Amino acid sequence: MTALPPPSARKLGLVIDLDTCVGCQACVTACKGWNDQGYGVPLSDQNAWGSEPSGTFLNRVHAYEVQPDTGPAQVVNFPRSCLHCENAPCVTVCPTGASYKRAEDGIVLVNEDACIGCGLCAWACPYGARELDGAAGVMKKCTLCVDRIYNENLPEADRVPACVRTCPTGARHFGDLGDSESAVSRLVAERGGYDLMPELGTSPVNKYLPPRAKGADERVDILAPLLDVKASGFAGWLDRLLEKI
Amino acid sequence: MTYRQPKLDTSPKVSDEVRKTTCYMCACRCGINVHLKSGKVSYIEGNRDHPVNRGVLCAKGASGIMQVTAPSRLRAPLKRVGPRGSGAFEEIGWDEALELAVSWLKPLRETAPEKLAFFTGRDQSQSFTSFWAQGFGTPNYAAHGGFCSVNMAAAGIYTMGGAFWEFGQPDWDRAKLFILFGVAEDHDSNPIKIGIGKLKARGARVIGVNPVRTGYNGVADDWYGVTPGTDGLLILSVIHELLKAGRVDLDYLARFTNAPCLVDEAEGPGRGLLLRDKDGKLLVIDKATGKPAPFDRTGVRPDLGATHKGARTVFQHLAERYLSEEYAPEAVAGRTGIPAERIRGLAAEIAHAAFDAPVVLDRAWTDFRGDVHRQMTGRPVAFHAMRGISAHSNGFQTCRALHLLQILIGSVETPGGFRFKPPYPKPPEAHPRPHSGFNPCRPLNGPHLGFVQGPGDLALKADGSPARIDKAFTWENPMSAHGLMHMVIPNAHAGDPYRIDTLLLYMANMSWNSSMNTAAVMEMLTDKDETGAYKIPHIIYSDAYASEMVAYADLILPDATYLERHDCISLLDRPICEAEAAADAIRWPVVEPDREVRGFQSVLVDLANRLGLPGFVDEEGRAKYRDYADYMVNHERRPDVGPLMGWRGNGDQTGRGAPNPDQLQRYIDNGGFATAHIPDEAQFFKPWNRAYQDWAVSLGLYDQPQPYIFSLWSEPMQRFRLAAEGHGERQPPEHLRERVARTMDPLPIWYEPFGEAAGAAYPVHALTQRPMAMYHSWGSQNAWLRQIHGHNPLYVPTKIWTEKGFADGDWARVTSPSGEIVVPVAHMAALNENTIWTWNAIGKRKGAWALDPAAPESTKGFLLNHLISELLPENGDGMRWSNSDPVTGQAAWFDLRVRIEKADPPGEAQPAFGAIASPVPPARRNRP
Q: Tens of pLDDT along B648-683?
A: 999 999 999 999 999 999 999 999 999 999 999 999
Other CB atoms within 10 Å distance of the CB of residue B661? 10
Confidence of residue B180 (pLDDT cuts 50, 70, 90): very high
Residues 6+ apart with CB under 8 A from B853: B846, B847, B915
- Does the pLDDT of residue A190 top 80, yes or no? yes
A74 contacts chain B (CB < 8 A) = yes
Positive or negative CA dihedral for B473, B717, B882, B792?
Answer: positive
- Over residues B562-616, the pLDDT tens digits come to 999 999 999 999 889 999 999 999 999 999 999 999 999 999 999 999 999 999 9
A29 contacts chain B (CB < 8 A) = yes
Q: How many CB pairs lie under 8 A apart between chains A and B?
A: 292
Minimum CA–CA partner of B313 in chain A: A238
Q: Do B925 and A46 touch (CB under 8 A)?
A: yes
Average pLDDT over residues B380-403: 96
Q: How close is the nearest chain B Cα to the Cα of A133, in Å? A: 12
A216 contacts chain B (CB < 8 A) = yes
Residues 6+ apart with CB under 8 A from B196: A20, A22, A169, B178, B206, B216, B219
Of B59, B781, B855, the CB nearest to A25: B59
Confidence of residue B122 (pLDDT cuts 50, 70, 90): confident
- Does the pLDDT of residue A245 top 80, yes or no? no
- Which residues on A lie below 8 Å from B918 (Cβ)? none
Of B3, B783, B852, the CB nearest to A45: B783
DSSP B662-719: THHHHHHHTTSEEEEEPPGGGSSSTTTBHHHHHHHHHHTS-SS-----B-SS-HHHHH
Share of chain B above pLDDT 70, in %: 100
Q: Angle B518-526/B485-494 helices, nearest 10 degrees?
A: 40
Q: Do domains B168-420 and B754-903 have the same CATH topology?
A: no
Q: How close is the nearest chain B Cα to the Cα of A1, in Å? A: 5
CATH code given to domain B754-903: 2.40.40.20
* Residues B14, A38: Cα–Cα separation, whole Å: 8
Across B171-255, the runs of DSSP E, i.e. the strands, are 177-181, 205-209, 222-224
Preceding peptide of A155 cis, ω within 30°: no
SS3 B910: strand
A232 contacts chain B (CB < 8 A) = no
- Which residues on B lie below 8 Å from A241 (Cβ)? 246, 250, 319
Of A51, A72, A146, the CB nearest to B830: A72
* Residues B217, B224: Cα–Cα separation, whole Å: 9
Q: Do B45 and A57 touch (CB under 8 A)?
A: no
Q: Do B45 and A44 touch (CB under 8 A)?
A: no
Residue B623, strand partner residues:
B617
- Over residues B636-649, the pLDDT tens digits come to 999 999 999 999 99
Which among A46, A229, A241 is the top mutation candidate for probing chain B, defined by the most B β-carbons within 10 Å of its own β-carbon?
A241
Partner B, chain A 81-140, Cβ-Cβ below 8 Å: 96-97, 100, 102-103, 109, 111, 113-114, 134-135
Minimum CA–CA partner of A144 in chain B: B10
- Over residues B47-77, the pLDDT tens digits come to 999 999 999 999 999 999 999 999 999 999 9
Residue B205, strand partner residues:
B177
* Residues A94, A79: Cα–Cα separation, whole Å: 25
User: Side-chain half-sphere of B913: how many Cα atoms within 13 Å?
Assistant: 24
Determine which helix (DSSP H) or strand (DSSP E) holds A187, and give its type and residue range. Answer: helix A183-191
Domain A12-209: which topology?
Alpha-Beta Plaits (3.30.70)
Determine which helix (DSSP H) or strand (DSSP E) holds B800, and give its type and residue range. Answer: helix B798-803
Q: In the predicted model, what is the mean pLDDT of chain A?
A: 96
Type of residue found at B733: P
Confidence of residue B184 (pLDDT cuts 50, 70, 90): low
- Which residues on B lie below 8 Å from A2 (Cβ)? 1, 3
The pLDDT value recorded for residue B647 is 98
Minimum CA–CA partner of B203 in chain A: A212
Q: Do A242 and B323 touch (CB under 8 A)?
A: no
Length of chain A: 245
Across B456-610, the runs of DSSP E, i.e. the strands, are 502-506, 538-542, 555-556, 567-569, 581-587
- Which residues on A lie below 8 Å from B221 (Cβ)? 212, 214-215, 217
Other CB atoms within 10 Å distance of the CB of residue B430? 16
Is there a contact between B88 and B81 (Cβ–Cβ < 8 Å)? yes
Is there a contact between B41 and B50 (Cβ–Cβ < 8 Å)? no
Confidence of residue B4 (pLDDT cuts 50, 70, 90): confident
Confidence of residue A224 (pLDDT cuts 50, 70, 90): very high
- Over residues A116-160, the pLDDT tens digits come to 999 999 999 999 999 999 999 999 999 999 999 999 999 999 999
* Residues B261, B283: Cα–Cα separation, whole Å: 6
A21 contacts chain B (CB < 8 A) = yes
Determine which helix (DSSP H) or strand (DSSP E) holds B827, and give its type and residue range. Answer: strand B819-827
Which has the closest alpha carbon to B119: B91, B139, B90, B99? Answer: B139
The pLDDT value recorded for residue B1 is 62
Q: In the predicted model, what is the mean pLDDT of chain B?
A: 96
Q: How close is the nearest chain B Cα to the Cα of A83, in Å? A: 19
Q: Do B928 and A49 touch (CB under 8 A)?
A: no
The pLDDT value recorded for residue B785 is 96
Q: How close is the nearest chain A Cα to the Cα of B440, in Å? A: 48
Confidence of residue B880 (pLDDT cuts 50, 70, 90): confident
Which among A4, A49, A158 is the top mutation candidate for probing chain B, defined by the most B β-carbons within 10 Å of its own β-carbon?
A49
Domain B168-420, CATH class in plain words: alpha beta
Contacts 24+ apart (CB under 8 A), B687-696: B687/B160, B687/B161, B687/B256, B687/B413, B687/B420, B687/B425, B687/B427, B688/B255, B688/B256, B688/B367, B688/B368, B689/B365, B689/B366, B689/B367, B689/B368, B690/B365, B690/B366, B690/B367, B690/B368, B691/B365, B691/B366, B693/B368, B696/B422, B696/B423
- Over residues B251-306, the pLDDT tens digits come to 999 999 999 999 999 999 999 999 999 999 999 999 999 999 999 999 999 999 99
A70 contacts chain B (CB < 8 A) = no
A231 contacts chain B (CB < 8 A) = no
* Residues B289, B731: Cα–Cα separation, whole Å: 41
* Residues A143, B337: Cα–Cα separation, whole Å: 48
Residue B290, strand partner residues:
none
Domain residue ranges of chain B, discontinuous segments joined by +: 168-420, 714-746, 754-903
Q: Do B219 and A153 touch (CB under 8 A)?
A: no
Domain residue ranges of chain A, discontinuous segments joined by +: 12-209
What is this model's ipTM? 0.97
A8 contacts chain B (CB < 8 A) = no
Average pLDDT over residues A83-105: 97
Q: How close is the nearest chain B Cα to the Cα of A200, in Å? A: 23
Other CB atoms within 10 Å distance of the CB of residue B618? 9
Q: How close is the nearest chain A Cα to the Cα of B21, in Å? A: 17
Rounded (10°) CA dihedral B450, B456, B459, B460: 180
Of B218, B348, B773, the CB nearest to A221: B348
- Which residues on A lie below 8 Å from B45 (Cβ)? 30, 33, 162, 165-166
Of B11, B57, B854, the CB nearest to A151: B11
Of A5, A34, A229, the CB nearest to B244: A229
- Over residues B905-926, the pLDDT tens digits come to 999 999 999 999 999 999 999 9
The pLDDT value recorded for residue B928 is 85
The pLDDT value recorded for residue B124 is 86
Q: How far is CA B465 from the centre of its chain?
A: 27
Burial zone of B71 (CB within 10 Å; 0-12 exposed, 13-18 middle, 19+ buried): buried
Minimum CA–CA partner of B851 in chain A: A49
Which among B8, B32, B172, B219 is the top mutation candidate for probing chain A, defined by the most A β-carbons within 10 Å of its own β-carbon?
B219
Share of chain B above pLDDT 90, in %: 94
Average pLDDT over residues B100-123: 96
Q: Do B344 and A222 touch (CB under 8 A)?
A: yes
Q: How close is the nearest chain B Cα to the Cα of A66, in Å? A: 9
The pLDDT value recorded for residue A243 is 85
Residue B927, strand partner residues:
A45
Which has the closest alpha carbon to B546: B909, B28, B915, B863? Answer: B915
A170 contacts chain B (CB < 8 A) = yes
Q: How close is the nearest chain B Cα to the Cα of A90, in Å? A: 14
Three-state DSSP string of B147-177? HCCHHHHHHHHHHHCCCCCCCEEECCCCCCE
A4 contacts chain B (CB < 8 A) = yes
Q: How close is the nearest chain A Cα to the Cα of B87, in Å? A: 19
- Which residues on B lie below 8 Å from A221 (Cβ)? 348
Minimum CA–CA partner of A94 in chain B: B1
- Does the pLDDT of residue B13 top 90, yes or no? yes
Q: Do B200 and A19 touch (CB under 8 A)?
A: yes
What region does B649 belong to: left with phi over 0, alpha with psi -120 to 50, or beta?
A: left
